[in-house]
Amino acid sequence: MKSVRYSLFFIVLLGLTTNCQQEPEIPYYTVEGEAQGTTYHITYSDNQERNFQSRLDSLFDRVNHSLSTYHEGSLINQFNQAMSLETEDPLFLDMIKQSGEVYRQSEGAFDTTVMPLVKAWGFGPEKEPEQRIENLDSLRQLVGFEHLKIGNGQIGKDREGVQLDFNAIAQGYTVDLIADFFEENGVENYMIELGGEVLTKGKNPRGRIWTLGIEQPLEIPGIQRLAAKVELKNQALATSGSYRKFYVKDGVKYSHTIDPFLGHPVTHSLLSVSVVTDNCAKADAFATVFMVWGVEKSRAFISEHPELNLHAYFISASKGEGWEIEMTEGMEGILEEV
């Protein structure tokens, strides 16, 4: 689950790029609300003047019923509480497929079976963080996509206690589903934002490329400042950061990003990474991967795998005051630092 405060700041920047505009030839509409523990803001053009609010609400309900650990009775919760799940639900099966692809591409850095560790470190569906890490070595034995047995509409597990957590990809995946819905309905210009994860197509109401903001990794409640602006031309943007969801216990900061290899929250200097690519599920997932890896390995991976079309902007803590900023070559032409 992503922080609401990021998405609210995000939309302020969108307002700056779309207000004081001439009346567009094609009417634009905005729908917004709450979903998946955060907010969403969607702007789209439509000559037929259709209001998609109710159909989008139905789509969010479908996603919750399939993929949300916060939704009682969801398919993912049914799987987590049993040894296997038989389903033909296309969302659940597609989520398993896409998660497996990123798991293999990242050599295990992205792992949706990390739920036992997520719960152990106090970042599960429970409302209050509570560490339960006395048996950390045993819990690590439950983590690994290879524990899943997939085939013929059935997803099983090879040992009791293996559990799924789609939080590091589900919001990006939902954005892609909304984009698919717009494509099916002939919508040619849109911006879809859910919890800070974004996908755009075409032009904004001013007839320009959609311009989005990346926030500074501040841990001060209520303070939001812009780090950079990004022009997205039919692209997705997702940001992951250690400054968003964390808690401090006995003077130690614990981030929600869990390293599946070590079994504990990441501790390196990378504060946030923003990923631009061609679809939002991939951007969402690889933002998590790069938070696990850190800057050096992430940059090397992007360079070695041009076929994945990944571009990244990294903000790290410096040894003194301020931050260290790095970006891959593909970001240089579309990003402007503020």
Cα angle: 273, vertex 239, 148; to 5 degrees: 95
Q: What is the mean pLDDT of the chain?
A: 87
Phi, psi of 81, rounded to the nearest 5 degrees: -95, 0
DSSP for residue 15: H
Give tens-digit pLDDT for 75-97: 999 999 999 999 999 999 999 99
Please say if the pLDDT value at position 125 is more than 90.
Answer: no
Q: Does position 130 have pLDDT exceeding 80, yes or no?
A: no
For the chain, the structural domain boundaries read 4-21+35-47+169-337, 61-157
**Per-residue pLDDT at 7 exceeds 80:** no
Superfamily of domain 61-157 in CATH is ApbE-like superfamily (1.10.3980.10)
Enclosing H/E stretch for 136: helix 136-140
Torsion angle (degrees, nearest 10) of CA 190, 302, 282, 16: -30
Q: Is 147 exposed, middle or buried (0-12, 13-18, 19+ CB in 10 A)?
A: middle
Q: For 182-214, what is each residue's pLDDT tens digit? A: 999 999 999 999 999 999 999 999 999 999 999
50, amino acid identity: R
Distance between CA atoms of residues 325 and 304, nearest Å:
21
Could you give the 3-state DSSP secondary structure of residue 215?
A: strand
| 61-157 has the same fold as 4-21+35-47+169-337 | no
**CA–CA gap between residue 43 and residue 332 (Å, rounded):** 26
pLDDT of 304 > 80? The answer is yes
What's the pLDDT at 129?
A: 54
pTM of this prediction? 0.90
The pLDDT score that the predictor gives to residue 4 is 29
Q: What is the pLDDT of residue 141?
A: 94
pLDDT tens profile 309-328: 999 999 998 877 778 999 99
pLDDT over threshold 70, residue 219 = no
- Using the predicted structure, report yes or no on whether residue 229 has a pLDDT greater than 60: yes
Residue 257, classed as helix, strand or coil, is coil
Percent of the chain past pLDDT 70, that is, above it, reads 85
Q: Which residue has the higher pLDDT, 21 or 274?
A: 274
> Mapping DSSP to helix (H, G, I), strand (E, B) and coil, where does residue 194 land?
strand
In words, the CATH class of domain 4-21+35-47+169-337 is alpha beta
Whole-number pLDDT of residue 187 = 97
Amino acid 318: pLDDT:
83
